[in-house]
Structures are given as C-alpha cells and as structure tokens.
Amino acid sequence: MADSNKNPGTADGCCSSAIPKKSNNRDPPHYQKQARSSMDPQTYQLIEHVLVDQSLPAEARIVAPEKSLTLFNLQEYIDRTLDAVVTAEKAAEVSTTEGRLGCSEVLFENSGSARTLAVEPDRLGVSSLSNFSSIRANCCVYKGKWIYELMLGSKGVMQVGWCTINCQFFQENGVGDTTDSYAYDGNRLCKWNVKTQRYGESWLTGDVISCAIDCDKGTITFFRNGKCLGEAFNNVRCGPGYAYFPAVSLSMSENVRANFGAIPLRYQVEGYKPLQDPPHLDLVQAQILFCYLENLLPVMVEEESERKSWSAEKKDLQPPALGDTRSRQCNLLLVAAHLFNKLATLLKSAYIVEACLLRFMLKVCDAESCLSEQPYISKLLDTMWTLMQDFELKACLENLIITLLTAYRFSPITADFKYPRMYLSLTLAILKHSQTRHHLLSHVLFDKIKFPVFLHIKPPDDKGLIEIVPTVWWPKVKEEGTVLQPQTHKEEEDKQAYLVSCEQLKNKIEEIERLQVEMLKVLLIHDDKKEPQGKTSRDLFLEKFRAFLKENAGTRLHPINTCPLPVSLCFFHRLIQALRYYWDFYAQQDTVKFLPSSEAYMPICEFKKPGRDNLDFQRCGGLLSHLQRTLSDGEGSKTKKGHKSDGNSGSCLYFCCSGSRSNSNDCLESSVDPSCAEIPGDATLTELLDGVVTLYHIATHKQLGKMSALRDNMNEFINSLIDTEEKLAKCPDDAQEIKYELERAKSVFEEKISELGRQMAWVIAVIYSKTKQIDVAWIFRVVLKTIEKASAHEIPFQFLPEFYVDTCINSYNALKNYFHPTANFFDIPDNFDLSHKFALFLTRHFSDNRIVNSDLRDNITQALACFACFPYSLEVLEDLPLESKKSMMHYLTAPYDNRSWAQTNWILVRIWKGCGFGYRYTHLPHLVPSKLQTTELGVASLQKPCPSKVFQDLLSEMLREDRERAIRFLDTMLSQLNWSFSEFIAIMQQIQQVVSKTEPWFIDTRQLKFCATCFQITISLLRVVEMIVSISPEFFTDYSKSSSELLLTRLIQLLCQILNRIATRNGMFENVISLPLPGMEVVTHYPIVAATVGILIRLILSSKDPERRDSRVCNVLLSEPLFQINSLNFLLGQDECAEIDVTTYKKQFNLREISQVNSEEIKQVEDLIEYLQNEIDNKSKQQKSLKDEDVCAICYANPISVIFDPCGHKSCRNCITYQMMNKKECFYCMTPVTSVRDIESNDVDVTSTAAAAAGKVKPSSNNNTEDK
C-alpha cells in the first residue's frame, strides 16, 4: 500500500528503548485472569498474523513486541508502533515551506470576485459568470520548484498559469496579458505573456492540467494528463520582489477545480512540490494501520462465510452458551476495534481517504467480477459502521464518494476503459451496502455531488480515438441523398475495419453502461426499509430526483450550476434501462394487475395530483390551479345533481383498465374519475416514468440535436472532398498551380474528415447506437399512448402537461432525423405502426380546442407540415382512416380569419408541390441548398416534391360538398394574399427610398426578414390558389353561381397587380433584388411569376383546343384596367417597352433559361401570350370609343353598365357589387339601394343583388394595392 510514501525503518533496538515499558502487575487481578483465559492458540495466531506477520512492510514491524501480544496489550503495541513511525518520519522530514509564502491551506481568494465568479464553498472550484474573469490563490512562491493541478470541468477559452501580485486583471485581459503573468490556453492552442505563441495540445473536459514553475531557473512548464507539453517560458523574472501566485482566467460559463495539495496530486512530477504540504505524519500512520487491516479483513470475510454456510446447514441449532471463551467473530471484531480506534480519526481527512482508504478499497475490490458480490467491501463497511462514530463515518463517506467521483471524472481514458470500470465497480460495491446506501442517498449523492456524473462516459481525446479506431472510412453521399458504394477493394477493406472498430468500441462501452445501470437498480431497491415508518432506497432516490429535475428545469439557476447536457443524456438512458427492468419485474410478479414495459404509459389520474405541479409546467388546458378551480368544481357539481356526464363534457364513467388482463368489457357508471382505474405499473415507477419524460424534455432532446450537428458537419466536408476530387480530375496537366492547390485542399479535407470520422465512431457507439434508439423509441411509445388515453376524455386531457405533447413530437423527430440514418429508423420494430399512431396524433390535435396554448398548437401544426414533406410519412397520412383525413382537410380549409393559417397553408402547398407550373424544385435555381434557405420547418422544406393525389382528390370533393364554406375559404385566402403582397410591396418601396439617398444608409435586418417572409407567404398562397384552380375550377368559372364572377374578378385583379409590380424591366422590384441585402436571397422573379402564370394557364388554357377555351375568363382579364400584355412578354425576355441602358445592363429574366421549367410549360406560356394577343387585337377592332359621361365615375376604368333603384344613379357592375357587400346604399346620395338593374336589358343584376342580399363573399378592406 502506498509504497511511494515509505520511509526507511530504524533498528528494533533503538525503537524498543525509546518506548517506555509498563509493568504487568499494574493490571487489575480480574484483567490478568481474563488475559490468561483469552489467550487461546487461535487468538494468538490471529494477532500474530495481523500485526507481526513477516509479509508486512518494515514500517509496520518497526517495533518488536516485548511479550506475547494479547487483546489487552494490543492497543499498547499499536500505539508504540505508530509513535516510532512518527518519530522516524519527523527525523527524516525536510522543511517544505522554504520558498513559499502564504497560508498553510491553499485556496482561491474570494475577495472582489463575487460578481464575476462563482466560487464553491471549499474555495477550490470556480466558475465564470462574466465574459472574462480572473482569480488567484492565497499563496505565492519565490524559490524552488512548485506545481499545482487544474481539473477542467469544461473545455472553452481559459488562461491558466502564474502571476505576480502587481498584475491587475479586468474584463478584457487576464492571466498572460500582463508583463509578469504567464498562461496556457488549450482551447486556442497558445501560450500567453503579453504576446501569444502556438503551444501545447487541445484540452478536453475531464483533463488535468499541471502548472509547474521553477523559480530557480526561471522556467514554467505545463503538463496535460501527466504528459509534458514542453517548456513554455524560460525567461520568467525571478529574484527579490518577484513571487508568483497560481491564477486562472475563465470566459463565460467555463469552470475548473484546483488541487494545490489538499489531496494527492493525480500526476506527480519528479522534483516539484505541491503548494500545500501533505499530512505526512497522519499519512504514515494510516498506511501502517491499513497494512494491518489488509491482513485482518480476509480473515473476517472467511469467518463470516463459514458462519453463514454453517447456519444454512444447521438452522435449528441454538447459539452457544455464554462462557469465558470468546468466539472467533468476537475476537476479530476486538482486533478491528483496536485498529479503528486510531484509524477513525485519520479517515476524517480527505487526503487520507484518497491516499489510503480509496487505494485499499480498489485493491480488495474485484473489478473483473464487478456485478457479483464484493464481500471485502461489504465487510469493511460493516466494520466501519460498527466501530466508527457517526460524525467520523459520515465525514469519511462523504470524502470517499467525492474522491471516487473526482477519480472517475479525471482518470485517463485508455483503449480498454480500465479506469472507468475500476472506479464504477467500487462505487457499485459501496452502494450495495444497505446502510451506506441510505446515508449516501440522504446526504451525499445529490446534495454534495452531482450523482449523474457517475453515469456519464468521458470520450477519449483524438490520440485515444486513433488507437481505438485506427482505420477511418466515411460514406460518400451525393446532394440528392444517394450513398455511393466503395469503388475499390481498399475502400471496402477500410469500411469493414472501421465498422469492426465501431462494434468493438460499442461492446466496451456497453460493459461500462451495464455497471452504471446496475448502480441505478441498486438505488431503486424497494424492499430495504429499516423501520416501519422509514423510507426505502427508491423513496429517497425519487425525492432527490424530483429536486434534481426542479433545479434543472427552472431558470433560477445559472447554467453553470445545472447538470451538463451530455451527462443528462447518459442519465436518461440509464434510467430507462433500470426503469424497464423493474417495470417488467412487477409485470412478471402480477401479470393481471400490471403491464409489461412494452405497453407502459402514465396513468391519467396522476396528472390531477397537486403535488405534481412542482416544476411549473403548464397543462394543455391551462394552469393547474385554474383547472382545479373550474373543471373539478364543475365536475363535482354535476355529480351532486345526479347528472351523467357525456364524453364531451368530461365523462366520469368508470371504465375497465386497458392495462388489466381481465376479460371483462363492462363499463360501470361511477362518480370516480375514469382514469383512476388504470394502474399500468407500481406507483413509484410511474412517478419515475414521469420524471424520465421530464428529463427528456428539459435536456435529452437538446443534446441529441447537438450531436447530429457533428454528422452534418462531416457530410459537408465529404461533399467538399467529392467536389475537389471532381475538379482535380478535370484539371488540365499544364495548370500545375491550380492542381497543387486542389491537392492541398484535398489533403486538408481528408485530414479533417478522418478526425470527424473517429469522433463519429464514438457517436455511433455511444450516442446513436441501436440500444439508445430503442430507449428513445420506448419513451416515444409511452407518451404517445399516454396522450391517446388522455385524449379520449375531455377533462383528464386538459390536465395533461404540455411537455408530454412536446416530447411526443421531439422524440419522433429525434428518431427520424437525429438517429436516422446512423441507426436506421426502419429497423425499429413496428416502425410503421408508430408512424401511423403519430400521424393520428397530429391530425387529431393540431386543431384541438382543448389545447389553450396557441404556441403548442402551432408546434403540432408545424410537426404535421414536416410530416407531410417526406414520401414515407405522406404515405402514412394517406393510409389513415377516411374520417381522420377528412377531419384534417376540414380544418385546413377553414376560412383564413381569426386563426393561425400560415402553417396550415404550408401543408396544402406540400400536397400540391410537384404538380404546379415549374414547381418541382427543392431550392431556388439561383441558390445552393444551404442552411440559409431552411425555414422554420428545417430540412423538411428542402425535401424533394412529393404531391399527394389522394389529398388533392379529397380536397376537391370536400370543397364541392360544402360550397358555401369553400367560397368563404377562398375569399379569406384571397384577402390574405392581397395583404401579404401589399405588405411586401410597401416594404420594398421603403427599401428603395432608403437606398436611393446619397448619404450612407442602413436597413434593419428585422425589416428585411419580414419582407422576405411576406414574399414567401405570397408564393405559398398563390400555389394553393393554383391547386384549387386546377382541381376545382368551377369555383371561378361556373358563371351560373353568383360568387364565381366575383372570386374570378378579385383573383384577376391580384394577378395583374403582381405582374405589374414584378414583371417590369428596370422597375422597383428588379432594382431592390439586385442589392446585396442579407436575408433577401429568396426574393427573386422566378418563384412568384411561375405561380402567377401557372394560375393564368390553368384558367385560360384549360382546354388544348383553342375553340373550347374559356373566353369569359379571357374577357375578365382583358377588361381589367391593370392588365398589360408586356408583363407576360417579360417572362420570355420579350419586354419591348423597357429601354435598355447599355452602361448598367443587367441580365434579363427569361423562363426559357430556368432549368426547372420544361419545354411543354414554355409552350404553354407562348400559347397563352399568343392567345391573349389575338384576343386583344380582335377586341381593339370591335371596341368603340367611350364618351366621358359613359365611363364609371367611381373607378374611371369600366363603362357604366347598371342603374340603382330607387335613386337612379349609375356605375359599372364591379363597383356596385363591392359596395353592396359592405354598405347597401348609393355611392352618391347614400340612399338605400333596393335593386340594381342592367342598363341595356333592364333586368335586375343577379350578381350585385345576390351579394347584397346574402353577403356570402366579403371583400378585403384593402383590395387595391396600387396605393401601397
């Protein structure tokens, strides 16, 4: 034990003469009698074996016994031995205080750092609360060689090293930024002393950085995990007036923990001393005592084993009668009592605990059979609880667990993961001890330390990954998503070697994970209650777990005090494994009462308990206090009055639990909440299940998303490498400089991909493994089934926490977009059934009025929009029951007023995308698919078009079935189209006014973003109009209906407005989009003019036969004063009216040059222009000139065609139609209009009168966009 601290022994004679002798006749007579009677051969052999055995180190045998050792002089012999060792240590001790100034206990100073740094109570751990904070220790050195260690809790920007007392640090400068301060930054790979130079290695969380200074030579050296990084500085100014303090500077949220010598240094460097003196005298005494204990403990374990086996064989035997002879068990305990009489006091020291107790326990703990019983650890803990006082034992156990966690966090990661397995095995053995487990759960695991850190696995650094994954392979994926197979035999070999390394790594990690899961199983033991009113380990764990969730879910704590996301992710997975183990255990014990874990869910009645509201999460129906005050009272009053509640008002029917295995299908009426009959699992396990769902919501999903960024980053480098290789293959031989640069770029990409590929191997084995995918799929099933059961009842559903809905959406997103394709989504058992149930959840609840939070409903709608973007999930939607599909389409086609409609409109767009005019692109032609183009729907917005003929036909059918509702839907959609385009044009005009000024100009990015958003909304609305015109054109062209002409007229006006504003050479639109404005990349000609011309083609060229084309639509278009044929010629680059300025020539827009527009569509545009030109020519020949008195005085565009009754005033038909839908009175005299007659036929005008009478179509209040 601890042979590094051995001291040379002294002669036995010298030691014997130094110890005072005691006369035997001083003992009382009865003591002498007991000594004689107790000195049986077995006791004598025991004492000789423990204390005088020749295998003991020389220090333990420094004093020879003067007489035969007995239990009565044993303590005297131990005291003499310890005194002799202390005397020898003092004689050999060399002063270590020379060259050092300051307190004997070295800590960080806490003066002036309260606002910028969070200093832990022991003043050894610090975390930054500001952009850049600095702190130094309370000790300085001026002579000799000194060292201290920093254990990194994060890996960001930090400058660690040494400084003098004269160094002043501020928010912008820290250690190394002044003349007499020297620092190392492993994040930026540089050393600092006013100037910076490249130095060192990249550090990671969990690294130990040793900072060493040689004041005699004037050098400073840094070490990373015991490895020397080289001499950093050799010109450190030393001498009179120069003394150097340990100091660190941390950027925001970075944290470190220092070891100045209060515990043994993790990496001792020869010749350097720690700043704080170790307790040498206590250390040598503890080492001697542990040598004795090492001999005693096996005997105690052997005796207990024999006693248990003997008891098992002879259960009916009575205990031996009392007498003069003590049992072997009693003798062993007495010997141990003498040892712990001295050892108990020493074990209160953290240094002794780590240097002696921890090493001893690691030595006797069998790490190879870590899951089996550890009798040595168990017996040692039993002895400690028996022989140590409470205050001594509690301090010892606290220091032991803190030391264990520190050792686990900061131990080096090797290829065999030896150290994590070793420390976890010991921790598991300690937790298996019932009394120790109860104490640690009550006072240490969550109060003094962050227990979930034990469940995290620290990844190796880059060099460690090279050893674990020597060969790297990466899949080459094209932009369209196809994976290229290995082209050569070497690539195939690399692939197989890489996959084998990943599998081997996964197997090693799973060994560690099994240990961690076993730790949780032990902490969740439910039958270890010591007292009738006491608590089990599971009760204690759940209390601490609730507090843990409350701390990490709220915003009161600073982020540095919360559990790190990687740790929370590991905690989540281990909890699921332990939870499912116990859930299945209960199901096996009682198959009638409990469900297996594969069918688990949260009982709905649990959500109504007031105690569950400690996390301040809102419920689907609002705040819990509001629901309890309103719904519960209402439910109770109904029951008192004898009313039977139906399903829509919160039925209180007692229904048979679906989790029950009974065959009864009877549902009895009762005043009991229907959900209270459901008991899918033990109450404590359902509480734990709710906590696991909460943990996924507050932490797990965030970390899963962060890990997917690594894969995305790697794919970008792979695409860049493929592009470079293609360019290199096409590069001519004479272009040597270009070829050299391409080869250099290729080598850089390959090096970076190799680094990312090894990191991805860790992700494959640890984060996105198959077992982790199953865990997330299980939690997805749980919340999905919980929501399904809750939604069947009005009132219980409103008590459902909102985060259950969010977790349902996020967990499916994780399975489909984070794990996939690393862990294939389609390999999940029953993946189609999961998708089917998820689709039902989305279609049922995206319009659920029981959900009061509009943001939550928007989240569900957005999830449905994303779900409809992928071919596989769209097929799932198409396979839903007809009623579910109709319910979804019914809400999608609700009028666009008094509701959120942008996302539901996007769903209709996805149903149509791929069928519209030139609407087959995944990204705009002039842009590359990048993150800048993704909308709030993420990568779903960049998926290939996958139109749904099923939903198009269903939409057409539903519009025809309820024509009145359909007309209202179309009218409000045109109003929103008018609004969005008007807002877009207004902002564009403001931008043009700003940039036209001569002085420097600035445009708010929020205004640009709003402008681009309005543009995209306009396009999506136009595409939905295009779809309806295609599948149900009769709503615009059936002139037997009074609403068709009005809808057609409004639509034509909007289309003409768009063409006039957009399709103009050198106009405002073209000038603004030519400016380099951030966020305006999506604003261009093609998407909006393609949608506009697509609508015109569907309306006018519905028949290929020119004789059968709809001339009525053509007449409406040509009669529209805003229509100009040049705006259509512009689409094909034939704008003849615009003057081309050669000096500022810009490339002219032309649909023929757009690759997404095929030749057939170009032919349709040409036919449209030709047809309209012919109609214009024919109309111009027949047109008669109008007198001024024959032109409508309201619009000055159309001829007077109707007369009002009874006042007799006149106007065109369009003007009076709009007027009658708002005000049924004359423009001029305000007289109520009773009827409108056609001037030529004198018949009552059907359109205007019907509009006035029914008011079915209400125009927008800002129909005309010309003024905007």
pLDDT in tens, 1133-1165: 876 554 555 544 567 888 888 888 999 999 999
State the Cα–Cα distance between residues 860 and 837, nearest whole angstrom. 14
The pLDDT of residue 9: 36
Mean pLDDT of 711-722: 88
Amino acid at 347: L
The pLDDT of residue 1003: 83
Mean pLDDT of 960-972: 91
**Which ranges in the chain are annotated with CATH 2.60.120.920?**
100-274
State the Cα–Cα distance between residues 1057 and 1059, nearest whole angstrom. 6
* Domain range 100-274, CATH architecture: Sandwich (2.60)
pLDDT digits (tens, 9 = 90+) for 1012-1042: 999 999 999 999 999 999 999 988 888 777 7
The pLDDT of residue 940: 61
State the Cα–Cα distance between residues 209 and 205, nearest whole angstrom. 11
pLDDT digits (tens, 9 = 90+) for 363-390: 999 878 877 888 999 999 999 999 999 9
**Which ranges in the chain are annotated with CATH 3.30.40.10?**
1189-1254
Q: What is the pTM of this model?
A: 0.85
Mean pLDDT of 629-639: 55
The pLDDT of residue 1039: 75
User: Is 80 exceeded by the pLDDT of residue 96?
Assistant: no
State the Cα–Cα distance between residues 203 and 185, nearest whole angstrom. 9
Mean pLDDT of 433-437: 94
User: Is 80 exceeded by the pLDDT of residue 669?
Assistant: no
Nearest Cα to 506, choosing from 697, 705, 245, 770?
770
Please, how many CA atoms are within 13 Å of residue 618, restricted to the half-sphere of its CB? 11
Amino acid at 993: Q
Mean pLDDT of 949-977: 93
Class of residue 518 by CB neighbours under 10 A (exposed 0-12, middle 13-18, buried 19+): buried
Pairing verdict, β 273-274 and 145-152: parallel
State the Cα–Cα distance between residues 361 and 274, nearest whole angstrom. 25
**Other CB atoms within 10 Å distance of the CB of residue 194:** 12
pLDDT digits (tens, 9 = 90+) for 201-219: 999 999 999 999 999 999 9
152 pairs with which residues across the strands? 256
> Is the sign of the CA dihedral 721, 723, 729, 732 positive or negative?
negative
Residue 734 in tokens: 């004479």
Mean pLDDT of 851-857: 90
pLDDT digits (tens, 9 = 90+) for 12-61: 333 333 333 333 333 444 444 444 444 567 777 888 888 876 666 666 66
What pLDDT band is residue 311 in, cutting at 50, 70 and 90?
A: low
pLDDT digits (tens, 9 = 90+) for 882-892: 999 999 999 99
Q: Are the C-beta atoms of 227 and 243 separated by less than 8 Å?
A: no
User: Is 70 exceeded by the pLDDT of residue 1?
Assistant: no
Give me the chain's average pLDDT, please: 83
Q: Angle, nearest 10°, between helix axes 902-912 and 854-867?
A: 10
State the Cα–Cα distance between residues 1070 and 1064, nearest whole angstrom. 8
Strands (E), 658-776: 668-669
Omega of the bond prior to 610 within 30 degrees of 0, cis? no
The pLDDT of residue 33: 43
Lowest mean pLDDT among 422-426, 470-474, 672-676, 1102-1106: 672-676
Percent of the chain past pLDDT 70, that is, above it, reads 82
State the Cα–Cα distance between residues 690 and 33, nearest whole angstrom. 66
What pLDDT band is residue 803 in, cutting at 50, 70 and 90?
A: very high
Residue 652 in tokens: 């209180």
Our CA angle for 600, 604, 607, nearest 5°, is: 115
- Reduce the DSSP state of residue 1101 to 3 states and report it: coil
**What is the fold, at CATH topology level, of the domain defined by 1189-1254?**
Herpes Virus-1 (3.30.40)
Class of residue 603 by CB neighbours under 10 A (exposed 0-12, middle 13-18, buried 19+): buried
258 pairs with which residues across the strands? 150
Q: Are the C-beta atoms of 1136 and 1126 separated by less than 8 Å?
A: yes
Mean pLDDT of 819-848: 91
Mean pLDDT of 497-507: 93
The pLDDT of residue 1102: 72
State the Cα–Cα distance between residues 284 and 991, nearest whole angstrom. 81
Q: Are the C-beta atoms of 286 and 355 separated by less than 8 Å?
A: yes
pLDDT digits (tens, 9 = 90+) for 1177-1208: 887 766 666 677 778 888 777 788 889 888 98
State the Cα–Cα distance between residues 193 and 318, nearest whole angstrom. 79
Residue bearing tokens 């490339």: 1147
User: Is 60 exceeded by the pLDDT of residue 582?
Assistant: yes
The pLDDT of residue 141: 94
User: Is 60 exceeded by the pLDDT of residue 1131?
Assistant: yes
Lowest mean pLDDT among 631-645, 778-792, 854-868, 1152-1166: 631-645
